[in-house]
Structure 1
Amino acid sequence: MAVFDDLVGQERSVETLRRAAAAGAEILAGGRGAGMTHAWLFTGPPGSGREEAARAFAAALFCPDQGCGHCDVCHQVAIGSHPDLETVRPQGLSYGVKDTRQLILRAAGAPTLGGWRVVLFEDADRATEGASNALLKAIEEPPPRTVWLLCAPSPDDMMITIRSRCRAVTLVTPSPAAVAHLLATRENVPPETAAFAARAAQGHLGRARRLALDAEARRRREEVLSIPASLTGLAACVAAAERLVKTAEEEAAAVTAVLDEAETAELRKVYGEGSTGKGLNKGLVRGGAGALKDLEDRQKSRATRTKRDVIDAALLDLVGFYRDVLTVQFGAAVEPANDDRRADLEKLAGSSTPEDTLRRIDAIMLCRRRLASNVNPQMAVEAMTISLRAPRL
């Protein structure tokens, strides 16, 4: 299985990347390598596989066979251990200029294995203005064998000066049929479950995989999609908001707890906790107090980011639900993404107008913008649930 095979429904982008990888191999052999450039911007909707495409391209650049998928080099890229691949995953709400400058210094080093040095920057849109300016200078004057792979939802999320210096790879939302086929053939998911997960995830491969394989993910989805029918009064709206935010907090805690524990234990070990020798343990742990405080701050920021990401995913599920209501109201010949809740869709469609549904969708999108602006999640979600109950002003 080649490294590009998991990029479902991205045939045009895969062809572009294959040609660029071949050009990269030509450059390493002393040729011109037309079609290869030092900076790439991968964009596309959530679940389209931006990071996966960038990682596959990195493997194709490193691999002697341009991404065979089964050699040691491809395996190293897949697990993140290749010495010439620097992967950046912003854990907090933003990625600052200090971190970016350190990244640029690391990226300036010569390749260890004599080929390329690749920086894969996931969620590059989280870079602050200062970080973006520092990144721009690095992209304008890169070392000869350094390749930058930036990932963002859309080109507009990046500074115009950065995106003008990058070659664009625009990914699309894969069809539910393509996602279902992948789940059935690669994950051995029963066809009915694969079709349900692909339809419910609306082309988001990662979410479809979780829905197909994780019963807890399916349960959380059911809780979110039960919200519209539960909004019978003001108290119910407040309770629904509290339930959604609490669920997000619990999921975020579960995701980050294991990471936090491992990181903290490793840092304490580095600074000598548990070492023997007179005065050694105490002195080194005290010397690492500042590093431990910095780690705790980063972990808190990551927990906040994870919580907001979980809430945002729930809000997108609600948007999909009301979009299905709208298709029922207009009698559109489209299979609803949430066909398993057909009764709720038809009931709400019959008791409201298309204008009501559009206002409800607007309320959800406003909540997303408020959360992105650091509004208190409980307040933002409460305002949304109240608007979902009575959209008319």
Structure 2
Amino acid sequence: MSVWEDVVGQEPAIETLQRAVSNSAAMTHAWLFTGPPGSGRSVAARAFAAALQCPRGGCGECRECRTALDGSHADVDVIATEGLSISVRQARDLAALAARRPSVGAWRVIIVEDADRLTEQAANALLKAIEEPTERTVWVLCAPSTEDVIITIRSRSRHVQLRTPPVEAVAALLTRRDGIDPAMAAYAARAAQSHIGLARRLARDEGARIRRHDTLKLATKITGVGQAVLAATDLAALAGEETTASSTERDAAERTRLLELLGADPSARTQPPHIRSQLNALEKEQKARATRFGRDVIDRALVDLLSLYRDALVRHAGAPVALVNEDVSELVDRLARAMSPEQLLAAMDAIGTARERIDANVPPLLALEAMMISLRLPR
């Protein structure tokens, strides 16, 4: 057993990190892990933290390894924002945390899972702590690419690039780690395009599989402006339903827990002013989390839609390349018959533009409507 067991398809990166663990000359105080969504950036970061704390360099069995991996180690702090950005206040708290020496472990390891969500002001607040770290403190920043992190931070960090793991490796992981049937694991890994987290969700959640199938079917129904607007509304509604289902129970539990911590009565019709201010702050955080989650749901749906047009293009080219959507090959064939290669490429560009617009805070429904109009099937 090893801490690197779940870091699949990343042999070059693992070799670099193992060398840093075993050789102080190869070690540095700040690391930047980049890779496409689903490549396992945070998994690799936790494994690296565990290997640094482990007396045997990452055995995966000792208390140091287990606690670092499950997030309970006193000297391994994992920061993952559920909002749209990491604020200056949060960054200052991180800088103060980095000034403390490790209490029980060999290193204090601070993992920032969403370094791309640092605002410019927040990144500047961290800069001095990263430039002049306390002895035995290690920063591990995770982001999709180096361009997503401001240059002053990335220039002071050692870069480790992860790649999209092979479908077979992701399927094998789901079978070994999660006990998923091999056939279902293979389908989920392929449909998720090797995104490990999404593959696990597809394999275990029938509702997610149904929503994905409904999203793919939209592509063959858009024949006019009216259908395009309806398709955009349907896609936004699907995202809204998933967001509500995910957040309602959790938000209520968080509110009850906060009231209990403050010694307030959860059943009271009104609360004192100081309690109301705490509740307002919680509701603001929950709203930001729901907004991000909704955008992530829409983005996943757009990636699924993009894969269908990609498969239709593969059909046109007759390339000996496996389809992402083999389970709905009839939809792929229908799209390939209806659209030329040039039209398919234009559709893929329209989907990419919609993703960029939503990421830039354009209201999702507006971006989806503009995209769906561009996806109309030719007469």
For normalisation by structure 2, the TM-score amounts to 0.95
- Give the SS at the match of 1:120: strand
Q: 1:334 aligns with which of 321, 333, 347?
A: 321
Which shows bigger deviation, 306-315 or 260-269? 260-269
Q: Does 1:322 align with 2:309?
A: yes
Counterpart of 1:225 in structure 2 is 216
Counterpart of 1:68 in structure 2 is 59
Q: By how many angstroms is 1:248 displaced? A: 0.8
- Give the SS at the match of 1:112: coil
Q: By how many angstroms is 1:284 displaced? A: 8.9
Question: 1:387 and 1:95, CA in 2 relative to 1: closer, same or farther beyond 3 A?
Answer: same
Counterpart of 1:26 in structure 2 is none
Q: By how many angstroms is 1:38 displaced? A: 0.6
Counterpart of 1:22 in structure 2 is 22
Residue type matched to 2:19 in 1? R
Q: 1:355 aligns with which of 342, 353, 376?
A: 342
Do the aligned residues in 2 keep the contact of 1:359 with 1:391 (CA within 8 Å)? no
Question: What is the CA–CA distance in structure 2 between the aligned matches of 1:257 and 1:235, rounded to whole Å?
Answer: 32
- Counting only pairs closer than 5 Å after superposition, residues 74-153 of structure 1 correspond to structure 2 as 74-153=65-144
Q: 2:286 aligns with which of 269, 284, 299?
A: 299
Counterpart of 2:299 in structure 1 is 312
- Give the SS at the match of 1:100: helix
Q: Does 1:256 align with 2:217?
A: no
Aligned-pair identity (%) = 51
Counterpart of 2:46 in structure 1 is 55
What stretches of structure 2 of length at least 5 have no aligned partner? none
Question: 1:17 and 1:391, CA in 2 relative to 1: closer, same or farther beyond 3 A?
Answer: farther
Counterpart of 2:365 in structure 1 is 378
Q: Does 1:242 align with 2:258?
A: no
Runs (4+) off by over 3 Å: 281-286
Residue type matched to 2:192 in 1? A
Q: Residue deviations 1:54-79, cap 9 Å, x none? A: 01101111122222222222222222
Q: By how many angstroms is 1:391 displaced? A: 7.7
Q: By how many angstroms is 1:310 displaced? A: 0.5
Question: What is the CA–CA distance in structure 1 between the aligned matches of 2:269 and 2:320, rounded to whole Å?
Answer: 70
Q: Residue deviations 1:199-234, cap 9 Å, x none? A: 111111111111112111111110111110121332
What stretches of structure 1 of length at least 5 have no aligned partner? 24-32, 276-280
Question: What is the CA–CA distance in structure 1 between the aligned matches of 2:77 and 2:252, rounded to whole Å?
Answer: 24
Q: 1:45 aligns with which of 36, 39, 43?
A: 36
Q: By how many angstroms is 1:188 displaced? A: 2.6
Q: Residue deviations 1:121-161, cap 9 Å, x none? A: 01110110101111222110110111100000001111112
Counterpart of 2:8 in structure 1 is 8
Question: What is the CA–CA distance in structure 2 between the aligned matches of 1:385 and 1:107, rounded to whole Å?
Answer: 47
- Give the SS at the match of 1:82: coil
Q: CA RMSD in A?
A: 2.0
Question: What is the CA–CA distance in structure 2 between the aligned matches of 1:96 and 1:389, rounded to whole Å?
Answer: 41
Counterpart of 2:171 in structure 1 is 180
Residue type matched to 1:128 in 2? T
Question: What is the CA–CA distance in structure 2 between the aligned matches of 1:362 and 1:346, rounded to whole Å?
Answer: 20
Question: 1:142 and 1:282, CA in 2 relative to 1: closer, same or farther beyond 3 A?
Answer: farther
Residue type matched to 2:305 in 1? L
Counterpart of 2:257 in structure 1 is 266
Question: What is the CA–CA distance in structure 1 between the aligned matches of 2:170 and 2:235, rounded to whole Å?
Answer: 28
Q: By how many angstroms is 1:119 displaced? A: 0.7
Q: 2:182 aligns with which of 178, 184, 191?
A: 191
Question: 1:229 and 1:105, CA in 2 relative to 1: closer, same or farther beyond 3 A?
Answer: same
Q: 2:193 aligns with which of 202, 213, 219?
A: 202
Matched pairs, number? 378
Question: What is the CA–CA distance in structure 1 between the aligned matches of 2:201 and 2:326, rounded to whole Å?
Answer: 18
Question: What is the CA–CA distance in structure 2 between the aligned matches of 1:216 and 1:282, rounded to whole Å?
Answer: 37
Question: What is the CA–CA distance in structure 2 between the aligned matches of 1:255 and 1:64, rounded to whole Å?
Answer: 40
Which shows bigger deviation, 215-224 or 229-238? 229-238
Q: Does 1:216 align with 2:207?
A: yes
Question: What is the CA–CA distance in structure 2 between the aligned matches of 1:266 and 1:223, rounded to whole Å?
Answer: 37
Question: 1:291 and 1:107, CA in 2 relative to 1: closer, same or farther beyond 3 A?
Answer: farther
